[in-house]
Amino acid sequence: MTRLVNDGVLAGALPPGESWPARAAQWLEEMREGRRLVMIAEFDGKMVGMGQLIFKFANGYQDAEAANGTDIAMIDSIRMRPDAPANLSTHIISELEKYAKKTQRIKTLTFLVPMDNNRVLNQVKSWGFEEFRIMPEGAKLLAFFRKRIA
């Protein structure tokens, strides 16, 4: 996971006291427990993107409409290097969908995006996701989207 930081896939500000290596270590632990999948995209020997599926949230964070551990999973943390190939995010979404259908028997994928990011909202809609819930988080609003894949 250190390469994700060094190659520029994991970058940007985090809440005080958090670090990208610590966050990535948590993702790996959740993957070992079968609650999360971390998918990495590599191009020309560099890590250029990452996508994740959450099958089941950690205790205390359950949301059965977003990820229930059986047939609903949430796409999380789609990240790209600034110089990543065009349409890499669409390719990662496609690969996550394939994995969810074949390996995990997921029937519905969900996605969570901030309401103030029109570019991301439009991208998620272009992938076939439809809004099903809006939730406040602090001073901002988050939109939940879902897509039936089976």
Q: What DSSP character marks residue 129? A: -
Pick the CATH number of 2-148 from 1.10.10.350, 3.40.630.30, 3.30.1280.10, 1.20.1440.130: 3.40.630.30
Which residue is listed with tokens 């669409």? 90
Determine phi and psi for 3, rounding to 5 degrees.
-60, -35
Q: What is the pLDDT of residues 79-111, one digit of tens each?
A: 999 899 889 999 999 999 999 998 778 999 999
Q: Is 90 exceeded by the pLDDT of residue 2? A: no
- Residue 75 φ then ψ, to 5°: -75, 130
CA angle 66, 73, 108 (to 5 degrees): 90
pTM: 0.90
Domain ranges within the chain, ordered by starting residue: 2-148
Span 9-38, pLDDT tens digits:
998 888 899 999 999 999 999 999 999 999
Model confidence at 5, in pLDDT bands (50, 70, 90)?
A: confident
